[in-house]
Amino acid sequence: MMAPGPPASQLAVPELVPLLRVARGAALVAAIIGAAAVAAVVIAVLVDPGLLGPLLGWLVGLALVSVAGLLVRIQAPRIHRHLNASRYAKARDEALSWGIVGLFAFVVPGVYLLRVWSRINEELAGVPGVVASAAPPPAPTPAVVARPYAPPVGPPPITAPRPPAGPSVAVSGPPLCPRCGQPSTWIEQYRRWYCYRDQLYV
């Protein structure tokens, strides 16, 4: 039997603080470098407007790096607050979300936030009573009753052919319905006898 993990109040929050600090610092560096590079591209385009086409991709990419770095820099303290308030599942989910965004900020902030996410996941795996996933449980699916044959569509045929040759039994007419005793109708599509009154196959 596996020993239970630490209580939720004793998760290794202090071990995660340096990782969060590195992520915030790297995000700030990425935001500054991205903003400076965007400014340099804008100045180059202002000096020579013919450079706009070739440098447009760089401009967009560097702007994305700058914005991603700035967002991670702003949001990383929230993860720390969630950890301090023992909202571990919320901290884990935000570390994953902002870690993915941080990958666009020169990769380093995202890697460190994903390490935070991984450590929280490892810690929560052994803690009884802490929800391992923030997703709600799936709704129960209704039971579906499978019918082997569908009732025939349309009015009953006027004449009923004889069933295919089977064991040598003398058949004087269509079989009678076991419920109502009325003669049944041959349905060629399903190759079975059907009672329209009781809506069942004989």
Give bridge partners of residue 176 from the DSSP assignment: 183
Residue 163 to residue 173: CA distance in whole angstroms: 10
| 169 and 79 share one domain | no
- 8-state DSSP, 132: S
Average pLDDT, integer, range 1-5: 41
Q: Tell me if 143 is assigned to some domain.
A: no
Residue 183 to residue 174: CA distance in whole angstroms: 6
Residue 54 to residue 35: CA distance in whole angstroms: 19
Residue 118's Cβ-side half-sphere holds a number of Cα atoms within 13 Å equal to 9
Q: In total, how many domains does the chain have?
A: 2
Q: Tell me if 135 is assigned to some domain.
A: no
Reported as type and span, the H/E element at residue 25 is helix 13-47
| 91 and 158 share one domain | no
| 188 and 114 share one domain | no
| 119 and 36 share one domain | yes
Residue 26 to residue 105: CA distance in whole angstroms: 8
Place of tokens 């700030």: 28
What digits encode the pLDDT tens for the residues 55-66?
Answer: 888 888 888 999
What digits encode the pLDDT tens for the residues 32-60?
Answer: 999 999 999 889 889 998 888 888 888 88
| 189 and 121 share one domain | no
Q: Which two tokens mark 59?
A: 């401009």
Q: Tell me if 16 is assigned to some domain.
A: yes
| 81 and 181 share one domain | no
Q: Tell me if 197 is assigned to some domain.
A: yes
Q: Tell me if 141 is assigned to some domain.
A: no
| 164 and 121 share one domain | no
Q: Tell me if 132 is assigned to some domain.
A: no
Q: Tell me if 73 is assigned to some domain.
A: yes
- Domain span at 192: 153-202
**CA 144: distance to chain centroid?**
24
pLDDT at 130 over 60: no
Residues in the chain: 202
* Contact status, residue 72 vs residue 105, Cβ threshold 8 Å: yes
| 68 and 165 share one domain | no
* Contact status, residue 113 vs residue 102, Cβ threshold 8 Å: yes
Q: Tell me if 139 is assigned to some domain.
A: no
| 120 and 158 share one domain | no
| 95 and 172 share one domain | no
Give the confidence band of 147 by pLDDT, cuts at 50, 70, 90: low
